[in-house]
Copies of this chain bind each other. A is one copy, B any other.
Amino acid sequence: MSDNTFGQLFRVTTWGESHGPAIGCVVDGMPPRIPVNEEEIQKFLDKRKPGQSRFTTQRKEPDQVKILSGVFEGLTTGTPICLMIENTDQRSKDYGDIKDKYRPGHADYTYMEKYGIRDYRGGGRSSARETASRVAAGALARKVLGMGVRIKGALVQVGEHEVNRDNWDWDQVDQNPFWCPDAEMVPVWEKYLDEIRKDGSSIGAVIEVRAQGVQTGLGAPVYGKLDSDLAQAMMTINAVKGVEIGEGMNAARLSGEQNADEMYIDESGRPNFRTNHAGGILGGISTGREIVVRFAVKPTSSILTPRATIDKHGEETEIITKGRHDPCVGIRAVPVGEAMMACVLADHLMRHRAQCG
């Protein structure tokens, strides 16, 4: 996989910077004769779109997607699909501070050390804008998986505040600005994030993405594990620092008796598991149970409190990141996590077909 391509058979190559003329992706490997149109893709982009509530960046972007290739008379042709999203709100402002100073917690310093050059405008390639391309690709991946596979994400933790899983209600998720599945937690987060926003501070979060209806047998032993590809996928999302499958880090606290998912034959006469500590994956291969992935997003370090840093001349200095403020970048990571789940599953579905027919 090259630095900007994701997947082996369902291959997504993204391109574009935050303040260039456009961003986009090329999806190669898409099966033929699948109905695809811009509206369907747009639906998912709109979920991720910035400026939808006071809790996310105020950048105004229509994020209008254009299909440039690979679709003919409403059907995929099996040739590469290029999707383009033009950048419109690139406030041609003075980047003064950001231009010369390295923002702590950002890629500014490491980019400069690696490439000796960086597009400092809005973070360039490391901007979360790149994830719009992923969401567009994810919409195509869902088409490959078909209606039988349902992928849904939710925000389950903001700072110290975790949702109560007994209150979990998928219908809630689309009815609040946080993708929160726990109605009781919504007002708590609202109050909490308003304070953080007023302080010009920021906070981390945990996203959970689940996939139902995934057939048994996707993934492979050793280096083609479904869970290792999911871990990689989620870790490629900006600001992610941890990934968990099923019990995740908590598995360290469990005994073999507690952790083993016992099997039985269910009413439909099919093999089933009494529990799902495994998160739907055993030995790197899907079990047929719900696939459960969680990932933690760190707080953005674009805050109003001055932080000590250095500039490109090697001088010590201070920085305050002004401009559009994002108190909890984790919120907008939910649709991105869903998209990555879809891409990984589509890729593995095709890989499984290739070897096991």
Contacts and interface: CB of A to CB of B under 8 A. Distances in A.
Given A82-B24, A283-B106, A17 B69 contact: yes
Interface stretch (A49-57, A169-177, A241-249): A241-249
Contacts of A168: none
Given A3-B28, A26-B15, A283-B111, A117 B77 contact: yes
A77 B115 CA distance: 7
Nearest to A200: B256
Contacts of A24: 68, 82
B31 A310 contact: no
9 nearest CB pairs, A to B: A107-B283, A3-B224, A232-B232, A354-B354, A110-B285, A260-B301, A202-B256, A114-B217, A228-B235
A300 B117 CA distance: 47
A207 to B, nearest CB: 9
Interface stretch (A40-48, A89-97, A118-126, A179-187): A118-126
Contact of A80 (B4, B119, B217): B4
Contact of A256 (B157, B303, B351): B303
A235 B241 contact: no
Interface string A127-141: 000100000000000
A62 interface: no
User: On chain A, which size bracket covers the interface?
Assistant: 35 or more
A61 interface: no
Nearest to A116: B33
A275 to B, nearest CB: 9
Interface in A239-274: 241-265, 269, 271, 273-274
Contacts of A105: 256, 259-261, 278, 282
Contacts of A84: 68
A294 B221 CA distance: 22
A236 B225 contact: yes
A253 B160 CA distance: 5
B352 A357 contact: no
Contact of A352 (B114, B223, B235): B114
B28 A256 contact: no
Contacts of A230: 235
30 contacts: A3-B220, A3-B222, A9-B355, A14-B80, A15-B70, A16-B69, A21-B69, A22-B82, A78-B115, A105-B256, A105-B261, A107-B285, A109-B271, A110-B217, A110-B286, A125-B222, A126-B221, A196-B255, A206-B252, A228-B236, A241-B248, A241-B249, A251-B296, A251-B297, A257-B305, A257-B307, A259-B298, A263-B316, A350-B354, A353-B353
